[in-house]
Each structure stands twice: as C-alpha cells, then as structure tokens.
Chains A and B, each alone.
Chain A
Amino acid sequence: MPALSFALRRVLRGIVTIWFAVTVTFLLLRLLPGDPALAVASTNMTEETRQALLVQYGLDQPLPVQYVLYLGQLLQGNLGVSFTQSVPVVDVLLARLPWTLLLTFAALAITIVVGVPLGVLAASRRGGALDRAVQIVGVTAQSLFVPSVGIVLLLVFGLGLRLLPIGGAYEDGVYGFAWYGSVLQHLILPAVSLALIQLGAFALTMRATLIDALGDDYVTLAKANGLPYRRILWKHALRNALLPATTLIGLQLGFVVGGAVLTETVFAYPGIGRGIYEAVTQLDFPVLQGAFLLLAVTVVLANMLTDLVYGLLDPRVKTA
C-alpha cells in the first residue's frame, strides 16, 4: 500500500516537526540569559511566589527532568497562565485562533484566485508587455513591508474614501446576517494587505513552472493534434504546473503567519498576532511562548493536510 505508507510517513514528519518546535522553544527558554520563572510568571512578583512557581513548574529540577515535565505539560494542553489576564494561555489563544485562520485563509484564497490567472497570462505572452508588467509587479510585491501596505490601504480606503472599516473584526451590536456582513467588510483590507505580499512570489512561480510545462512533449503533441491553444494552456499545462505552486504555498505558510502577525497589529484585528503585539508591550512571556507553539502546530497541521490531499490527487507526490 504505497498510499498508506505515504500518509504514515507524512504524519510522522508532522509529529517530528512539532517535537522540534517544542524542543527549540524549551532550549531557548532555559538557555537564554534571564530568569526561567519569567516564562511562567510576572516580573513583579514576590520572592515566595517566585519560589512556589519554580517548584510548581519543576524549574528547580535538573534540565532533563524539566524537559520531560515540559513535554508532559504541553501534552496536557497546559501552556501556563497569562499573568496580565490571569487566565490559562490556551484559553486566551484558542479564542483568538479562528480570526487568524480566517485572515490567513482569506489571504491565501485571494493569492490563488488572482495569482493563477496572472501567472498564466504572463507565461502565455512570454516577453510581451503583460509579462513584463507581471514580473515588475511580482518583484515589487515581494519587497513590500506588510505594515506599510496595510497602513496605505487603511489610509486610502478606510479614512480617505470611507469605504471600509479601519480596524477590528466585526461591528458590535449587530446580529445574524448583518454580523456576517460586517465580518466580511472588516476582513477585506487586512486580507488584501496580506495577499499582496504573497502574490508576487506566487505569480512568478506560476509563470516559471508554466513556461517549463509549455515546453514539454505532451504540449507539442497536443498542438500537433490541433487542440486549441487556450485549452492546452488552461487544461493541460496549468494542471501540471499547479504542483510546484501549491508546494510553494505550503513552504510560505510560515511566512504568511508572520505577515498575519504584523497585519493584525495594524488593523487591530483580534487574532493571535494582535495578541502577540499586546503580549510584547506587557512582556507576557507565557502568551508569547504559547502563541509561537500554537502557530507552529497550526502551520505544520495545515501543511500536512494539504500534502495528504495532494498526495491522493497527484500520484507524482507519493514517489517524490
């Protein structure tokens, strides 16, 4: 069963990646100069509380014992307590996670919906004016700083034209259908900012792989058979060129999440990223640690799922 062994290997890799993230975090927290108690409690606590916390979290034990304890805590879903809000970090973050997921997926959807046609058009008119334009836009988009993009969009569409809300994720006091409408309205500007910085790389990869695919033998054969060029382009070549572009999305996921942190900060969007920003200003280390771990797990899981689905759809993945 090659399909089953492929799935097993992929899941195993996901687990190893998560373990790696956890171990790196553990080592960083313990080996960096600074009080390890900072990772679980506030800076302005009394000495007794500090000692009690150190014992409670096993921070008085030798490093390997601490490591096992740490893994045990994480397996139980315990990420410590946010000392600014005095609630478990897991609760704080899980309430915020859906907004980050919504923003990230909306941005990826825009990237694909706009990026695929851009790449196809550029590749089919290679060397033409449109191709140059896509390349210039693509390279420039790659060099943008997300907050700058967000602020410009916010100034133009939010404050200048007054078309869209300038912050938050929904309007208070509206219910039912109107609430979903307000969520969508609030989503547009952050999602477009985040999509803009992914778009360049995606369209350029799409273009490059499609140009490769258009030089393949089966395309020549299809041309010789007299199939219309549009059909060869959109149905035959595009399907084969989609794989590298999809892989790129997977590789970029970590970057997209980083971009989401900055975008949410600009738009006061109530996701994990805005939570990170607030935790930084209050030096709430448990939240920062939890946010990284939760985002890492999310990225790894999302990558794993796309790979599994793609492995079922495209036999080339399994052998690779």
Chain B
Amino acid sequence: MTAPMPEVELATSTVAEPAGERPGRATWRAFLRQPLGVISLGVLAVLALVSVAAPLLAPYPRGYGSDVLSPPSSAHLFGTDSLGRDVFGEVVWGTQQSVLVAVAASAIAILFGTLVAVIGAYVPRADALVSIVVDLTLSLPVLPLMILVAALAGPSTTTIILVVAAFSWPEVTRLVRSQALTVVGLPYVDAARLMTRNHLHIVARHVVPAVVPVIVVSVVVTASRAVLSAAGLAFLGLGDPTTWSWGRILFEAQQSGAMVSSWWLTLFPSLAILALVLSATLISISYNDARNPRNRDR
C-alpha cells in the first residue's frame, strides 16, 4: 500500500486487434515468452499451493515449545520463536491467511471499483461525483484511516478484508474509469446505442469487455497491495490474534523484543511477503508488455 500502482500504459489496441486470432490467445502466447512473467506465475502458484496444503506441510503452531528462539535447524527449518513455536509452521499457515486476504479483499475492491467506474463513465451525471470521491479518497493517508477503522471494528480476518477492500476500490475505479471513458466515446458504442435502448446490455456487452485488460492488471496490483496493507495492520497489532499471518509473526517478534536478536523471526515472513508482492508486480508488468502488440513480434 505504500507504493502507488504502476501506471498502466494502455494501448488502444483493445479494440483493433489483428484479425484471425483471438486477442486473448495472442497475449497469452506473448506472455509465455517472458521469462520473468512465467517465473512469477510459478511463484504465485507455489504460494497458492502452500496455502491450500498448509495442513499437510506443518501442524498448526500453538501452545509452547521446549526450544525457545533456536536458530534454523533440521528440526525447525525456520527456527523457533520466543514461545518455542515452529516459525516454518507460522509462515506456512500465514501464507493461507495472506492469500485469503489478498483474494477476498481484491475481489471485493475490483467488483465495487469496476461497477462504480463503469457507471461513472457511462452516466455523465454520476461521473462528476465518482471522480470527486475517488480523488478525495486517494489524497488522504489511507493507512491511518484503516488503522482507526480496524481498531474500532475489532481485530479479525473479516475486518481486515473489509477494511482493505473499502479503501482499495478508489484506485481500481481511477484506473478502470479512464479506460472506460475512452471506450464509451468510441463510435461502436454510439452504434450500439442506436441498436438497443438496453443500457445494461451495452455496458455488459461492449464496455466491460473493453476494460477487462485494465481489470486484470488491477486484480494483480490490488491483491499485492492488500497483502502489504494487511501485513501493516497486523504488524501494528491489528491482525487477527487467533490466526497466523506474516504480519503477526513480525508483530510478535517486535513485541517480545526478539526481533533484534533472532534474525530468522523477521527474515522468513519478510521474504514471503516480498515473494508474493514482487511476483504479482512482475506479472502485471509482463502482462502489460504482452498485451501491447508493438512489443509482440520482436
């Protein structure tokens, strides 16, 4: 959440694709030719697998262990924390929570953000309001606001998902709206207006498909932001105290004062956050490159 979304360079090619092949397939083939994008996709797949298979990989870390703050060894791959719990297990189960938050928060933000953006672009009278609300929200310090709300609502995974989603949609709206506005002005939308009075049909059939590429980029970027925001909230002590998350491992390390003496407590959750966010960012960049026909046949 601390970095802005990478600006999406939108080729107007969403409308004019070379005939003969479906644009989605050409993009996919171009994407597969980018090593970084493919590796990142692999990393995300592994993280998703870990989050699903967490019960098979490690027992849920609870209670107290006998080895307190022991460095990584064959018994404890990532070492143990100040209560003797296995850090590997904490990171594995934390993956589950982070992936859940990322998927759920970004899904809500994307649905709501796209809806608002498309309404704004299609209904000129609503657009002024939409753009004002988006601009105002984006110019406020969002993390302190999230902290206030999360503290009031009480810490739980649901709270975190809702809070992160509630303050992520304006960014989605900003990205999707600018693309939707250009699409709505195109002649084929005017032509569609002549053929039907069913606005819902025009939006669903002609406007939304044209903004799908922006939505794909938003999904990836919003999800990675959601991970950072959720980790930030958990690091401040606003995470769910009953569920392991990467932010909670760091929070407990800081609270117990073991953060400075035991490097493994911070290294492994930090690497996990970096792996997830970095691969998501690289995927969005590779996807943008792949989608741009000018980059394709080189």
Residue ranges of A at the interface with B (Cβ–Cβ < 8 Å): 16-17, 20-21, 24-25, 28-29, 32-34, 38-39, 139-148, 151-152, 154-155, 158-159, 166, 197-198, 200-201, 204-205, 208, 248, 251-259, 261-262, 265-266, 276-277, 280-281, 283, 285, 288-289, 291-292, 295-296, 299-300, 303
Stretch from B19-27, B49-57, B145-153, B185-193 that touches the partner: B145-153
Q: How far is the CB of A125 from chain B (nearest CB, A)?
A: 19
Tell me, in angstroms, the Cα distance from A285 to B235 when the chains sit together: 18
Cβ-based interface call for B285 (8 A): yes
Sampled A-B contacts (23; CB under 8 Å): A20-B140, A25-B145, A38-B152, A139-B281, A139-B285, A140-B278, A142-B3, A147-B232, A151-B270, A200-B3, A205-B7, A255-B1, A258-B1, A258-B232, A261-B143, A262-B235, A277-B236, A292-B145, A295-B141, A295-B144, A296-B140, A299-B139, A303-B139
In the bound complex, how far is the Cα of B238 from the Cα of A265, in angstroms?
13
B232 near A262: Cβ-Cβ < 8 Å = yes
The distance in angstroms between the C-alpha atoms of A258 and B143, with both chains bound, is 5
B141 close to A257 (CB less than 8 A): yes
B6 touches A142 (CB 8 A): yes
| Contact between B281 and A166, CB atoms less than 8 A apart | no
User: In angstroms, how far is the closest chain B Cβ from the Cβ of A137?
Assistant: 12
Q: Are B139 and A32 closer than 8 Å at their CB atoms?
A: no
B222 near A: Cβ within 8 Å? no
Q: Which of A142, A151, A299, A300 contacts B266 (CB 8 A)?
A: A151
Residues of chain A within 8 A (CB-CB) of B280 are 143
Contact A262 B236 (CB under 8 A): yes
| C-alpha gap A148/B136 in the complex (Å) | 30
Q: Is the CB of A292 within 8 A of B144?
A: yes
Most interface-central of A32, A145, A296 (chain B CB within 10 A): A145
- What number of residue pairs across chains A and B have CB atoms under 8 A from each other? 172
Partner of B260, one of A166, A201, A256: A166
| Contact indicator B274/A292 (Cβ below 8 Å) | no
> What residues of A have a CB within 8 angstroms of the CB of B154 in the complex?
34
Q: Are B278 and A154 in contact (CB under 8 A)?
A: no
A174 → chain B closest CB, angstroms = 24
Is B4 touching A201 in the complex (CB atoms < 8 A)?
yes
State which of B144, B260, B270, B285 has its C-beta within 8 Å of the C-beta of A145. B270
Task: Using CB atoms, name the residue of chain A closest to B279.
Answer: A143
Select A17's contact among B3, B136, B254, beta carbons within 8 Å.
B136
Q: How long is the Cα–Cα vector from A295 to B228 in the complex, in angstroms?
A: 20
Smallest Cβ distance from A158 to chain B, in angstroms? 8
- Do B224 and A143 touch across chains, with their CB atoms under 8 A apart? yes
Q: With both chains docked as a complex, state the minimum distance between the C-beta of A310 and any C-beta of chain B, in angstroms.
A: 16
- Which chain A positions have C-beta within 8 A of B232? 145-147, 258, 261-262
Q: Compute how far the CA of A154 lies from the CA of B266 in the bound complex, rounded to whole angstroms.
A: 12
A261 touches B236 (CB 8 A): yes
Q: Are A145 and B273 in contact (CB under 8 A)?
A: yes
Interchain nearest-CB distance for A42 vs B (Å): 14
Specify which of A145, A151, A261 is in contact with B147 (CB 8 Å cutoff): A261
**A280 to B254 alpha-carbon distance, docked (Å):** 15
Q: Are A20 and B142 in touch, CB under 8 angstroms?
A: no
B residues less than 8 Å from A257 (CB atoms): 141, 143-144
Question: Is A24's CB under 8 angstroms from B145's CB?
Answer: yes
Contact B140 A299 (CB under 8 A): yes
Whether B196 is near chain A, meaning CB under 8 Å from some CB there, is no
- Kindly list chain A residues whose C-beta atoms are within 8 Å of the C-beta of B224: 143
Give the complex CA separation of A102 and B3 in angstroms. 20
Q: Which of A33, A146, A251 contacts B138 (CB 8 A)?
A: A251
B4/A277 in contact, CB under 8 A: no
Partner of B4, one of A148, A248, A262, A303: A248
For A34, the chain B residues whose CB sits under 8 A away are 152-154
Q: Are A258 and B259 in contact (CB under 8 A)?
A: no
- Using A145-B270, A145-B277, A151-B259 as known contacts, say yes or no to A261 and B3 having CB atoms under 8 A apart: no
B91 within 8 A of partner (CB):
no
In the complex, residue of chain A having the shortest beta-carbon distance to the beta carbon of B2 = A259
Closest to A208 in B: B7
For A29, what are the chain B residues with a Cβ–Cβ distance below 8 Å? 152
Residues from chain B with a CB closer than 8 A to the CB of A281 are 237
Instruction: Check A139 against B144 for contact (C-beta < 8 Å).
Output: no
B228 contact set on A, CB distance < 8 A: 145
Nearest Cβ on chain B to A93's Cβ, whole angstroms: 11
Contacts A154-B260, A288-B151; A299 near B274 (Cβ below 8 A): no
The 8 nearest A-B residue pairs measured at CB: A258-B143, A148-B270, A143-B277, A143-B278, A142-B3, A257-B141, A292-B144, A259-B2
The answer, yes or no, to whether B282 is at the interface (CB within 8 Å) is yes
Give, as a whole number of angstroms, the nearest-CB distance from A292 to chain B: 4
A255 in contact with B250 (CB, 8 Å)? no
Q: Say if the beta carbon of B28 comes within 8 Å of chain A.
A: no
Per the bound structure, the CA–CA distance linking A253 and B142 in Å amounts to 10
What is the 8 Å Cβ interface bit string for chain B, positions 1-15, against chain A (1 contact, 0 not)? 111101100000000
Residue of B nearest to A255 (CB): B2
Beta-carbon nearest neighbor of B284 in chain A: A139
A151 and B231 alpha carbons, distance in the complex (Å): 15
